[in-house]
Each structure stands twice: as structure tokens, then as C-alpha cells.
Amino acid sequence: MEKKSAFGPASLSGFYLGIALIIFSLLMFLLDIDLDSPFRYFSYLIIAGGLFWSMVSYRDKHMSGFLDYKGAFITGFYTGLIASVIAGIFAYVYAQYIDVGLTEEILTRAETEMLENNPNMSDEQIDQALTMTEKFTSPAMMGIWGFVGNLVVSTIFSLIIAIFAKRENKNVA
């Protein structure tokens, strides 16, 4: 059985997964679902489903129904990589152009939490903490964190899902 690169098929799957994550994010925005809502964890199911679909699709359509663990993981990794790039770009565009008040909302929420959890904080300490928070909540940083976060999650999921998506060819010596 010849080795075929998983990058092409996984890229297409990653594109679809990235679009699905964007649609989910837009739905959360349009339905005005809070950023801290447990509903946001539904995106993990979308990622897991997309990765499994990518691995099984590659196995069945391009590898004659057989795929070892390494091949399944690599397919999932490539899928997650492409989806993470798309999600990171969307996170930047969303924070920069769509929901321009998002950074301010995050800073306001952070200040409220600081005052609730540490009522004895001085104004100087609060200003320092908010300055640091502001650096990490710029649209560019949201894009970077969106990319990194999705890549880490999809890599971990790929390691696990590959166990179930692999199918070894027992007839090959």
C-alpha cells in the first residue's frame, strides 16, 4: 500500500472544521450567549467530531480503509492546524472589526472580579492588573490565543481520537 500525504484531504477537513467553529462563534454572538457560559464548551464537541470525521474520511477514501495510529494522528493534527489558523484569524477579525467593544467588556469584567475577590486592592494595583490584562486582550493577542488554544485542544483530541479511528491491516506482514 503506497503512502499518501494526509495534508491535502486534512486541509479540506480543517477548512470545514474552521468554518463550523466560526458559525458556532457567530451563533453565540447573535444569540447573545455570555462568554463564560458553559454552552461554549460545545465547541469541543465540534472539534472532536470534525477530527474524527477527518480521520475516518481519510482512512476510507484515501487509504483503502486502513490507517495506523500515526497516520490517524497526523491527519487529525493537520486538520486541527488548518482549523486553528482559520479560528485564530476569525478571532482577530471578530475582536477588531465585529465586536469592537469586546476588549472593553473583558476589562470591565476583570475589574469587577478583582474588586469582588480582592476588595482591599489599591487603585494602583488594579491599574497595574488592568494594564496587563489589556495587553493580553488586544485583538491581535485574541487571534494568537485563539490559534494556540485551538491547536493545543485539537492536538490532544487527535492523540485520543486516533486510537478509535485507526484500522490496522492484519493481512500485511
CA–CA separation, 164 and 51 (whole Å): 11
Which pLDDT score, from 0 to 100, does residue 1 have? Answer: 47
Structure letter (DSSP) for residue 2: -
Which pLDDT score, from 0 to 100, does residue 173 have? Answer: 54
CA–CA separation, 119 and 27 (whole Å): 36
Question: Are the beta carbons of 14 and 87 closer than 8 angstroms?
Answer: no
Which pLDDT score, from 0 to 100, does residue 143 have? Answer: 95
Which pLDDT score, from 0 to 100, does residue 72 have? Answer: 96
In tens digits, the chain (173 residues) has pLDDT values of: 456 788 999 999 999 999 999 999 999 989 988 777 898 899 999 999 999 999 999 999 999 999 999 999 999 999 999 999 999 999 999 999 988 888 888 888 888 888 888 888 888 888 888 888 888 888 999 999 999 999 999 999 999 999 999 998 887 65
Indicate the pTM of the whole model.
0.87
Crossing angle of helices 69-93/139-165, nearest 10°?
160
CA–CA separation, 75 and 71 (whole Å): 6
Which pLDDT score, from 0 to 100, does residue 125 have? Answer: 84
